[in-house]
């Protein structure tokens, strides 16, 4: 699991648990406060009606005629009252009145029969002098069919004559509550999604430098030479510098060990040949053989010199992490200069260069390095081409890169050597002579290509081999 996914999952779990607990508490509070807001004005209405009944009572008897007339008129009224999303069109509040014994005197809803005793909680508590209120469902299967009852005593001359209970259906109120709960859930869900998107973007932003370091480390492990990544912040810059320092130390140690082993192996043969020839020359050797041994000594010494020169060039190149020179490099001119170094040898064998290059193909880079890289490819093409052969050079643009192709008519590369030809000191015998080169040319070409943001490929073609050099323009 990636670091970004860990951040996102951890935040999602913590935030979801925290918001769930918060939502549960808020929903409980919302329902309670809605019910409190509805109950409080009902207390006022109940006590107002009780006061009206007390004022119209005589000789200790309750007179409900005024109340019956007023409520009948109110229930017949039709109106339109837009309360947010609720359209109210009629009065839905009802009232019933009992005497001091709890027998029903009047019920505006017409549910109970006059004279029947009521044992409801609101009636009992109110007549006992306590606060009488209750809530009950008219339909047990319908959670919105709750009706709230609030009672108030009717007191006249210090004597309780009865009680009045105000009944208010809470369907519209409960609808408000459910609407509020749905709104809270939707809002909190939206907040969670918004926060998750935010934490994802922040996590991606925070972990991007680590991803860059990881890609850099993988590129180094593949043998590439990427430029050091640019890191934000003091800690990330310190980490990047430490990684580069560790890379340099490890590469330097491996570099020295590998080079010492490889160089020792490559030098054994010419040194042994020189020593053998010099020992023979110490004796009485005929002039023709002496000349041949001296020629062998010169040839092996030249081989050692070429090996050391190329090794020094490659070592200097491998230390570079980025190009130091950025100039305009005309690839056609660079190819012509590289060919000039090998034209004499190629001409002696009848090898010609055929160009299929457009003019004006220019990149930004180091012209000297590009010329040396092309020179190495041309030298390989000359070494492996048959006499009177043709070397074809092509150059064109592909996407954001320039491509140089050097194609010869030689025997190509055996399958077993295709993955090894870029190794230091690995070389194949040249046709005809059977001799090997220093084995550093293609290593040099690959380093130049990587410094220019490109690469090198060797592809078999019909009747030869094609080297493709990619350079970022």
Closest by CA to 472, choosing from 321, 329, 368, 373, is: 329
Closest by CA to 339, choosing from 325, 326, 351, is: 351
Quick check: helix, strand or coil at residue 179?
helix
Helix (H) or strand (E) holding 340: helix 331-340
Name 87's bridge partners. Answer: 82
Task: Tell me whether strands 133-137 and 104-107 are parallel, antiparallel or unpaired.
Answer: unpaired
Confidence of residue 132 (pLDDT cuts 50, 70, 90): very high
Q: pLDDT per residue over 113-130, tens digit each?
A: 899 999 899 999 999 999
Q: Where in the chain is the domain with CATH 1.10.287.130?
A: 223-322
- Round to whole Å and give the CA distance between 335 and 404: 9
Q: Are 384 and 370 in contact (CB under 8 A)?
A: no
Q: pLDDT per residue over 19-60, tens digit each?
A: 788 888 887 777 788 788 889 999 999 999 999 999 988 777
**Cβ neighbours of residue 312 under 8 Å, at least 6 residues apart?**
none
Confidence of residue 416 (pLDDT cuts 50, 70, 90): confident
For the residues 192-215, what does the mean pLDDT come to? 79
Q: Does the pLDDT at position 356 exceed 70? A: yes
Q: Are 270 and 437 in contact (CB under 8 A)?
A: no
Q: Are 401 and 414 in contact (CB under 8 A)?
A: no
Closest by CA to 408, choosing from 436, 431, 380, 444, is: 380
Task: Tell me whether strands 352-357 and 159-169 are parallel, antiparallel or unpaired.
Answer: unpaired
Q: Which of 9-18, 33-42, 126-135, 423-432 has the highest mean pLDDT?
A: 126-135
- Round to whole Å and give the CA distance between 363 and 13: 53
Q: What is the pLDDT of residue 234?
A: 72
Q: What is the pLDDT of residue 127?
A: 95
Helices (H), 56-154: 65-76, 121-127
Q: Does the pLDDT at position 429 exceed 60? A: yes
Q: Does the pLDDT at position 401 exceed 80? A: yes
Task: Tell me whether strands 146-156 and 133-137 are parallel, antiparallel or unpaired.
Answer: antiparallel
Q: What Cα–Cα distance (Å) separates residue 175 from each residue in 83, 94, 181, 186?
A: 12, 20, 10, 16
**Domain 3-179 listed as CATH 3.50.50.60:** no
Task: Tell me whether strands 464-472 and 455-461 are parallel, antiparallel or unpaired.
Answer: antiparallel
Q: Where in the chain is the domain with CATH 3.30.450.20?
A: 3-179
Greater confidence (63 vs 259) lies with: 63
pTM over 0.85: no
Q: Does the pLDDT at position 161 exceed 70? A: yes
Q: Of the ranges 75-79, 194-198, 224-228, 396-400, which one carries the lowest mean pLDDT score?
A: 224-228
Q: What is the pLDDT of residue 153?
A: 96
Confidence of residue 204 (pLDDT cuts 50, 70, 90): confident
Q: What Cα–Cα distance (Å) separates residue 306 from each residue in 267, 270, 303, 374?
A: 11, 12, 5, 18
Q: Does the pLDDT at position 214 exceed 80? A: no
Q: Where in the chain is the domain with CATH 3.30.565.10?
A: 323-473
Greater confidence (243 vs 434) lies with: 243
Rounded to 5°, the CA angle 460-466-472 comes to 125
For the residues 454-458, what does the mean pLDDT come to? 87
Domain range 323-473, its CATH number among 3.30.1360.20, 1.10.10.10, 3.30.565.10, 3.40.50.11900: 3.30.565.10
Helix (H) or strand (E) holding 247: helix 234-281
- Round to whole Å and give the CA distance between 193 and 12: 9
Confidence of residue 309 (pLDDT cuts 50, 70, 90): low
**Domain 223-322 listed as CATH 3.30.470.10:** no
Confidence of residue 303 (pLDDT cuts 50, 70, 90): low
Q: pLDDT per residue over 389-400, tens digit each?
A: 999 999 888 878
């Amino acid at each position: 699991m990636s670091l970004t996914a860990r951040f996102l999952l951890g935040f999602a779990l913590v935030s979801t648990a925290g918001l769930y607990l918060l939502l549960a508490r808020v929903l409980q509070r919302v329902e309670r406060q809605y019910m409190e807001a509805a109950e409080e004005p009902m207390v006022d209405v109940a006590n107002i009606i009780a006061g009206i009944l007390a004022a119209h009572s005589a000789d200790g008897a309750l007179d409900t005629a005024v109340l019956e007339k007023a409520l009948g008129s109110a229930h017949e009224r039709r109106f339109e009252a837009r309360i947010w999303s609720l359209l109210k069109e009629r009065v839905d509040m009802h009232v019933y009145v009992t005497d001091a014994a709890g027998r029903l005197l009047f019920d505006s809803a017409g549910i109970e029969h006059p004279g029947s005793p009521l044992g409801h909680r609101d009636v009992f508590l109110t007549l006992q002098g306590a606060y009488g209120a209750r809530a009950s469902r008219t339909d047990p299967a319908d959670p919105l069919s709750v009706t709230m009852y609030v009672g108030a005593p009717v007191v006249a001359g210090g004597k309780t004559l009865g009680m009045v209970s105000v009944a208010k259906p809470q369907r519209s109120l409960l609808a408000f509550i459910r609407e509020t709960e749905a709104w809270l859930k939707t809002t909190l869900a939206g907040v969670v999604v918004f926060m998750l998107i935010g934490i994802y973007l922040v996590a991606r932003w925070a972990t991007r430098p680590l991803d860059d370091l990881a890609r850099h480390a993988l590129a180094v492990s593949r043998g590439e030479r990427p430029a050091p990544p640019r890191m934000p912040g003091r800690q990330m810059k310190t980490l990047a510098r430490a990684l580069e320092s560790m890379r340099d130390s490890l590469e330097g140690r491996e570099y020295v060990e590998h080079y010492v082993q490889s160089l020792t192996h490559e030098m054994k043969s010419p040194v042994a040949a020189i020593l053998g020839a010099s020992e023979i020359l110490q004796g009485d050797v005929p002039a023709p053989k002496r000349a041949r041994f001296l020629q062998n000594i010169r040839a092996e010494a030249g081989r050692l010199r070429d090996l050391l020169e190329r090794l020094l060039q490659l070592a200097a190149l491998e230390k570079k992490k980025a190009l130091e020179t950025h100039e305009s490099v005309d690839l056609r001119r660079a190819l012509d200069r590289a060919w000039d170094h090998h034209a004499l040898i190629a001409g002696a064998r009848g090898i010609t260069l055929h160009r299929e290059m457009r003019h004006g193909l220019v990149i930004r880079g180091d012209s000297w390095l590009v010329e040396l890289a092309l020179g190495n490819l041309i030298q390989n093409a000359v070494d492996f081409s048959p006499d009177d052969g043709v070397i074809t050079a092509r150059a064109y643009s592909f996407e954001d890169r320039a491509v140089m192709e050097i194609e010869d008519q030689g025997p190509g590369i055996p399958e077993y050597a295709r993955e090894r030809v870029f190794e230091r000191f690995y070389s194949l015998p040249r046709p005809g002579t059977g001799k090997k080169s220093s084995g550093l040319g293609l290593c040099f070409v690959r380093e130049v290509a990587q410094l220019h943001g490109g690469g090198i490929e060797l592809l078999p073609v019909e009747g030869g081999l094609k080297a493709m050099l990619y350079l970022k323009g």
